[in-house]
Amino acid sequence: MNAVLGVGGGIAAYKSAELARALMERGYQVTVVMTSAAQQFVTPLTFAALTGRKVITGLFAGAGGEETLSSAVEHIAVAQDNDVLVVAPATADLIAKFAHGLADDFLTTTYLAFTGPVVIAPAMNTNMLQHEATRGNIETLRRRGHIIVEAEEGLLACGVVGPGRLAEPDRIADAVLRALSPARHDLDGETVVITAGPTQEPIDPVRFISNRSSGRMGYALAEAARNRGARVVLVAGPVQLPNPPGIEVVRVYTANEMHDAVIAHLNESTIIIKAAAVADYHVASVPQHKIKKTAARLSLDLDPTPDILAEVGRRKGDRLLVGFAAETDRLVEEARRKLVTKNCDMVVGNLVGHEGTGFEAEDNEVVLVTRTGATIPVERAAKREIADRIFDELMRLRLALHAAS
């Protein structure tokens, strides 16, 4: 297998040498493309010595620096001859150029010509990484189906402690391996119904009951299923996320609406994943007009909402059913209880209220409890990575259940 390793300009460029070696240890032939800024941190000779291959440092320079026609179109050949494009470190500048289709050097032109899997590992100052522009550009690339290996937290070269450090080379190399794994097409022919986000239960025409779910985990699962070959129906509550391309999105607000949408797609589904944080109660009788504020105490008469997971569990047949359990304590015990009472095949448990994971965060840390009795902890990672781990274990579970039947 052949990999292009694009090296951006940043102090983390020295780690790209370790990444090149890690990729070669996994059986890749590595062609390194360096931006002009990257060459200020690491010399091309370093990569040439490691890979035994020519390092590409410019769009037009040939031997002796003269411009040649062959070098001017070499980025097309590189894009066609390689199986995966890896960019590490990906600076804010490179990420912005990729997101907006700007191409002014060899790496950015190769990116536009490349049609295979793309793995991007950002590295930069914490404030730059968390800037709205950078986060928006990263989300754009994620929606294109690119794999984002999120930056890690630690002491940065600028002296700041926080997120922005390039992920460890082995973690990036493993992401590359997964990007090219045949298992990424293991959902061909499947129809996966996924719920995401919160619901909103009206109190009156202007107020509602809801929760802090952002929908990011459900959307990550939908993108992972799509990339692995499935037809995906995403039933989404009111979230601030755009519709992902290639996915059928059904927008709902209330638990009743989510219930109806899931049941409407039940017969065509082969896998159902209930990642939404559905409200447990709704107002029994919603007034037609706004409730006026007074000095008196206000009480609400609440009825339970439909238990969508339990109903699907009763009607699922031979479909795979995955539930989620967001808990503040006794995580494994509660996940196992839900597994049994809702007739799930897997329950994904995650502790909420921890900084940096769970609701509203881009990372998650979960434990997978399965019908076969397995308890599988999944360490903190980006929700997109967690999504693939869930599907990896779900496919193993299916094989185990079939073998036991």
* Domain covering 185-286+297-404 in this structure, CATH number: 3.40.50.10300
Of the candidate ranges 255-259, 295-299, 380-384, the one whose mean pLDDT is the lowest: 380-384
* pLDDT at 150 exceeding the cut of 80: yes
Name the band, by pLDDT with cuts 50, 70 and 90, for residue 181: low
> Inter-axis angle of helices 13-25 and 169-179, to 10 degrees?
50
The C-alpha angle with vertex 242 and arms to 240 and 245, in degrees rounded to 5, equals 155
CA pair distance 274, 272, nearest whole angstrom? 6
Residue 73 has a pLDDT of 63
* pLDDT at 71 exceeding the cut of 60: no
- Average pLDDT over the chain, rounded to whole? 89
Judge contact between 56 and 31, C-beta under 8 A: yes
Residue 154 has a pLDDT of 72
Judge contact between 372 and 394, C-beta under 8 A: no
Residue 355 has a pLDDT of 67
Confidence (pTM):
0.61
DSSP collapsed to 3 states, the chain: CEEEEEECCCCCHHHHHHHHHHHHHCCCEEEEEECCCHHHCCCHHHHHHHHCCCCECCCCECHHHCECHHHHCHHHHHHHHCCEEEEEEECHHHHHHHHHCCCCCHHHHHHHHCCCCEEEEECCCHHHHHCHHHHHHHHHHHHCCCEECCCEEEECCCCCEEEEECCCHHHHHHHHHHHCCHHHHCCCCCEEEEEECECCEECCCCCEECCCCCCHHHHHHHHHHHHCCCEEEEEECCCCCCCCCCCEEEECCCHHHHHHHHHHCCCCCCEEEECCECCCEEECCCCCCCCCCCCCCCCCCEEECCCHHHHHHHHCCCCEEEEEEEECCCHHHHHHHHHHHCCCCEEEEEECCCCCECCCCCEEEEEEEECCCCEEEEEEEEHHHHHHHHHHHHHHHHHHHHHHC
Residue 72 has a pLDDT of 47
Of the candidate ranges 71-85, 138-152, 377-391, the one whose mean pLDDT is the lowest: 71-85
Q: Calculate what percentage of the chain has a pLDDT beyond 70.
A: 91
| Rounded mean pLDDT, 163-172 | 88
Q: Which pLDDT tens digit goes with each residue over 337-361?
A: 999 999 999 999 988 766 666 676 7
CA pair distance 140, 95, nearest whole angstrom? 10
Q: Which pLDDT tens digit goes with each residue over 207-245?
A: 999 988 899 999 999 988 988 889 999 999 999 998 887
Residue 201 has a pLDDT of 96
Residue 178 has a pLDDT of 76
Catalytic residue IDs? 158
| Rounded mean pLDDT, 293-315 | 94
Backbone angles phi, psi at 295, to 5 degrees: -80, -10
10 Å CB burial of residue 391 (0-12, 13-18, 19+) is buried
- Return the number of other C-beta atoms located less than 10 Å from residue 17's C-beta: 19
Residue 67 has a pLDDT of 43
Name the band, by pLDDT with cuts 50, 70 and 90, for residue 66: very low
Nearest CA to 61 out of 48, 50, 71, 73 is that of 71
Q: In the chain, which segments carry CATH 3.40.50.1950?
A: 2-180
Residue 61 has a pLDDT of 56
Q: In the chain, which segments carry CATH 3.40.50.10300?
A: 185-286+297-404
Distances (CA, A) of 377 to 175, 330, 390: 19, 14, 11
Third-level CATH fold of 2-180: Rossmann fold (3.40.50)
Q: Which residues contact 92 (CB under 8 A, 6 or more apart)?
A: 122, 124, 128, 129, 131, 134, 137
* pLDDT at 68 exceeding the cut of 50: no
